[in-house]
Structure 1
Amino acid sequence: MDIKQLKYFYVIAEEGQITSAAKRLHIAQPPLSYQLKSLEDELGVKLFERGSRNVTLTDAGHILYKRAQQILSLTKSTVDELTDFKDGAYGTLSIGTVSSSGASLLDSRLSIFHNNYPYINFEIYEGNTYELLKSLTKGIIEIAIVRTPFNNSEINSILLPKEPMVAAMVKDLSWTDNKIIDITELKNKPLIFYRRFERLILKACSDSNFEPTVFCKNDDARTSLLWANAGLGIAIVPKSSIKLIGSSNIIFKEIDNEDLSTQIAIIWSKKGYLSSAGKNFLSLFQVT
C-alpha cells in the first residue's frame, strides 16, 4: 500500500463512483479499478460493495477511510513543511557581526524579516572582520555584517549607503555648540578609535596637514564609546554605532570630511553554502 493507492481509494470513497473518481483524478477508469483491486488483494479485505452504478464502503472500508484521511492530511502537511523549509520559512540562520555594525541588525528590516518568516531562528556570532571572514570560509556563518574596508576577493557583498564618522565626547570636552565640525578641530585633542579605522583616520588628518594625538587604540567601537563616556578622550566612530551603548553622557558631532566615512556591508562567501533563509534575508538589503 502506498500514498497513491490511498489517495485513489479516498477519492473513490468521496465520489461514490469509480467513473466520477477517475475523472477527478484525471486518469482512465480501468487503471483506477486495477489499483483498487490491488489494494484489496494486498490488505486481504473488501473495501467497497459494488453496485450497478455506485460503490459503498464496507466496515473495513470505513476504517481505512478514516485512516486515509489522517495519513493524506499528514502527508500534505509534511510536504508543505518541507517546501517551507526549502523556501526559507523554517530553519536557523547564522549571522556574524562586528560590534560597530551589530546595531544595523536591529533596524526595521529585521522586524520585517521576522514578520515574514516567524519560524526562522538566529545564531549571532560577534568578532572582528578578519574573524568573520574566516568563519564565512569555514561555513560557521552564512552571512556577515561588517564595515568597509575589507578584502573582498572571495566574497559577495551588498554595500549600504555611506555614513560619516562622528566625534563622541562628554560635554566637558566639547569646545563648540556646532553639530558638524571640520576634522582640523580635532587637532591636539585626545583621540580614541577602533584600530581598524586607524589608516583611514591618519590619512584624513594627514590630508588636513596635522598629526592626531592618539590617546587610545582598541579593537571595538563599543570600547571607544565607553572610554569617551568616561571622559577620557574623544572617540571617532561611525555614526550608526552611537546606538551601541544606549543612554550615556556622550554628545556627538559629525565630522565634515568626505574621505572619513565608512559603509556597512552585508557579505557572504562566493563558494560557501547559502540557505534559502539566507537568500531571503539578503533580499531585504537588495531592495532599492
Structure 2
Amino acid sequence: MDLRLLEYFLAVARAGNITKAAEQLHVTQPTISRQLMDLEEVMGTPLLCRGKRQVTLTDAGVLFQQRAEEIVTLMEKTQQDLADQNDLVGGTVAVGCVESSASRMLPEVLKNFAAQHPRVQYQLYSADGDDIREKLDRGELDFGILLEPIEAAKYDYLRLPYWETWGLLMRSDDPLAEKAAMTVEDILPLPLILPRREIVQDNIAGWFGVERSQLHIFAGHNLINNGALLVEAGLGYAFCVGGCFAIRQTEGLKFVPLTPERTTGHVLAWKKNRVFHPAAHHFREFIEQEKACVDPQIQSNLS
C-alpha cells in the first residue's frame, strides 16, 4: 500500500474536511476523494462518513486511523534510522522513561553522552511501563528505562545502579503520616490507588501474603499525577515508589515507606534481536560502560 494513501486518510481524519486536507497537502480535492474511495475498496469497508461540510470516521475508520498512525510513525523512524547509518556521530535516540529517580538520572546521562556525541538528538517519552513496552514492541522507542520485573523472554536489558523504595502516598494531615513506616496491618484496610499493571498488583499482594482480590483497590493509575489528585481529595492512598513522589513533591502530601522495606531496581531495556542504528548502538555501549557515570548525589538525594 502506498504510504501516501495513509497520509491522505490521516490528513482528512484530522481536518474533518476533504477540502481543508487537500489544501494542507497541496493536492487537489478530487485527487484525495478518489484515493480515499480506492482505499475503502481495498479495505473492503467504509472508513468515512461524508457529510455536506464535515467528514467523520466510521468505527472501522477509527481503528484504521490508529493503525495508520502507528505505520506512519514507524516508517518515519525507520527512514531516520537508515539515514543515521551514514552518520556515525549523529542521529536520534528515542528513550522512554518511567516516573522515578531515573527521571533525574536521565538528564545527567544524556549530558555525559552528548559530550562525546554532540550531534546526536533525543526523543524522550514519559509513561508507565506498559506504554513504554508497547512502544518498544512497535519499534517506536530504542530503549526503555523501566522498573523491574522485566520480561526476559521479550527484552534484553542492563541493570542500572538505581533502586526505589515502595510506600504509600497520603495526605500530610492524615494520622498515618506520623508513622515512620507502614505495616501490612496498617495497609490492608485502606482504600488503595495502585499502579495499573497487574503484575505489580500481584507483587504487592504477595508482599502482604494475600490475593489481589483481598486488597481494597479504589482505583488504578498509570502515572502518579492523577493518583495524587485522588489522594489530595482524601479518596485513598497511592501505592508508589519514593522517587516518583520525590521528583515532584507536592505540598500537603507525604510519602511513607513500607516495613519491612520493599525495593525495586531499574533496567535499560530494548527489544530482543533489535538492530540498532549507530547512535543507539553507541548509547547502549555508553550505558553499559558508564553505569556509574551519574553523580551519586542524585540517587542519595532521592533516597
**TM-score tier (shorter):** 0.5 to 0.7
TM-score, structure 2 normalization: 0.57
Q: Which residue of 2 aligns with 1:168?
A: 169
Task: Map 1:158-237 to 2 at 5 A.
Answer: 158-160=158-160, 161-196=162-197, 197-206=200-209, 211-237=214-240
Per the alignment, do residues 158 and 174 of structure 1 end up closer, same or farther by CA in structure 2, a change over 3 Å counting? farther
After TM superposition, the structure 1 stretch with the greater mean CA deviation from structure 2, 260-269 or 124-133, is: 124-133
| 2:153 match: secondary structure | coil
For the residue of structure 1 that corresponds to 2:235, the secondary structure is coil
Give the distance between the partners of 2:133 and 2:232, measured in 1 at CA: 31
Question: Is the 1:137–1:272 Cα contact (8 Å) retained in structure 2?
Answer: no
Q: For the Cα contact (< 8 Å) 1:101–1:147, is it kept in 2?
A: no
Aligned-partner Cα distance in 2 for 1:102–1:162: 9
Structure 1: where are the runs of 5+ without partners? 1-81
Percentage of matched positions with identical amino acids = 19
1:249 aligned to which of 249, 252, 269: 252
Could you report, residue by residue, the CA deviation over 1:137-175 in whole angstroms, capped at 9, with x for unpaired residues?
332211111222232213211123442202111112242
* TM-score, normalised relative to structure 1: 0.60
8 Å contact from structure 1 (residues 136, 269) kept in 2: yes
Shift of 1:278: 2.0
Indicate how the Cα distance of structure 1 residues 281 and 228 shifts in structure 2: closer, same or farther if over 3 A, else same: farther
Residue equivalent to 1:47: none
Q: How does 1:1-288 map to 2 (within 5 A)?
A: 85-86=87-88, 89-100=89-100, 103-160=103-160, 161-196=162-197, 197-206=200-209, 211-258=214-261, 260-286=262-288, 287-288=291-292
RMSD: 3.1
- Checking the alignment, whether the CA contact within 8 Å between 2:172 and 2:254 is kept in structure 1 is yes
Q: 1:190 to 1:133 in 2, by over 3 A?
A: closer
Q: Check conservation: 1:109, 1:284, Cα contact below 8 A.
A: no
Q: Which amino acid aligns with 2:272?
A: K
Gaps of 5+ in 2: 1-83, 293-303
What is the deviation of 1:207?
A: 5.6
Contact 1:156 1:269 in 2 (8 A): yes
